[in-house]
């Protein structure tokens, strides 16, 4: 099956223009079987999709993801099991170490988006990752192709995926209609849900990716400018620090809810492993 694994909707990403139903139409016309919604720190785009009549009428697969902004290692694509939507993942600014632990605790998978791309949001250009490359071993996949990035950035991402033997995801990172479907991920499995995708990745199912870089744009030039790069980094760290107490509260609340579920399920003799909730 062919997926576009990096898609931003106008409902969940402030800089995106594409409606979720428009994504489905464009990608279907291009021969895709599905897409992963990856709005910035938000599930709003996917939740809009679930309310549309089309979501119950089409075989086109729309998966629920998120592009999370860490405070010390850029952007990460996160895919959680079906039915799990953690409020903490909509609050930017967690450290990459905390993000990896949280996602895996709940049975999800994650990988760096455009790891060698824009300085302000690409994992391998941050000190945290340069200092601790062993953390790459804990990633479940690597975005090895991103249509918004330069050829050299994608080459480096691809090489890193080979070096660490990680599944390679590809996506358009589209915010505008004309870039939808410029990146793809092919998976040798029948993927109908987040759980199917997570299982395929963990089982080592063959995955490949590719596409066409969109090339130079005025927006991409500004994205690499000094004021954009360091302005965004400062903004991200500031917001992360500001909402840190609230995020901690939400994480604690999630833990308390899970403890209650454990007790309830345990009293009925059911399997209570966190990854299955």
Say what the pLDDT of residue 118 is: 87
CATH 3.20.20.140 fits 2-276, yes or no: yes
Sequential DSSP letters for 230-254: HHHHHHHHHHHHHHHHHHHHHHHHH
Say what the pLDDT of residue 260 is: 46
Task: Confirm if 241 and 93 have CB atoms less than 8 A apart.
Answer: yes
CA dihedral 103, 43, 184, 96 (to 10 degrees): -30
Domain ranges of the chain: 2-276
Q: What is the rounded distance in angstroms from the CA atom of residue 180 to the CA atom of residue 93?
A: 28
Task: Specify the pTM.
Answer: 0.81
Residue identified by tokens 């809009």 is: 48
**Start-to-end Cα distance in the chain:** 26
The DSSP code for 134 is: G
Provide, for the chain, the percentages of residues in helix, strand and coil under a 3-state DSSP scheme, each rounded to the nearest 5: 45, 20, 35
Query: And the tokens for 228?
Result: 């954009």
Phi and psi at residue 183, in whole multiples of 5°? -130, 150
Task: Confirm if 154 and 213 have CB atoms less than 8 A apart.
Answer: yes
Task: Confirm if 181 and 32 have CB atoms less than 8 A apart.
Answer: yes
CA distance readout (Å), 18 to 26, 176, 270: 10, 6, 42
Strand partners, 210: 184
Q: Give 10-residue mean pLDDT values along the chain (277 residues).
A: 97 91 98 98 96 96 97 96 93 93 97 93 93 96 97 97 98 96 98 98 98 73 52 54 61 54 41 38
């Amino acid at each position: 099956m062919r997926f576009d694994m990096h898609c931003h909707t106008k409902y969940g990403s402030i800089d995106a223009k594409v409606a979720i139903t428009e994504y489905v139409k464009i990608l279907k016309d291009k021969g895709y079987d599905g897409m992963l919604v990856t709005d910035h720190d938000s599930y709003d785009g996917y939740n809009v999709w679930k309310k549309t009549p089309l979501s119950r009428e089409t075989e086109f697969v729309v998966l629920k993801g998120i592009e999370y902004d860490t405070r010390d290692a850029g952007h990460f694509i996160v895919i959680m099991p079906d039915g799990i939507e953690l409020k903490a993942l909509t609050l930017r600014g967690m450290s990459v170490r905390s993000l990896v632990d949280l996602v895996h605790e709940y049975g999800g998978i994650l990988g760096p988006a455009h790891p060698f791309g824009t300085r302000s949001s690409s994992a391998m250009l941050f000190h945290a990752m340069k200092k601790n490359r062993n953390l790459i071993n804990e990633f479940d996949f690597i975005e090895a192709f991103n249509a918004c990035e330069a050829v050299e950035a994608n080459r480096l991402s691809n090489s890193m995926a080979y070096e660490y033997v990680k599944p390679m995801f590809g996506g358009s990172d589209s915010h505008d209609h004309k870039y939808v479907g410029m990146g793809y991920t092919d998976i040798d499995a029948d993927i109908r849900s987040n759980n199917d995708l997570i299982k395929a990745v963990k089982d080592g199912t063959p995955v490949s990716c590719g596409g066409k870089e969109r090339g130079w744009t005025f927006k991409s030039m500004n994205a690499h400018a000094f004021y954009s790069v360091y302005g965004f980094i400062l903004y991200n760290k500031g917001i992360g620090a500001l909402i840190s107490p609230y995020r901690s509260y939400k994480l604690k609340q999630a833990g308390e809810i899970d403890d209650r579920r454990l007790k309830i399920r345990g009293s009925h003799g059911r399997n209570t492993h966190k990854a299955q909730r």
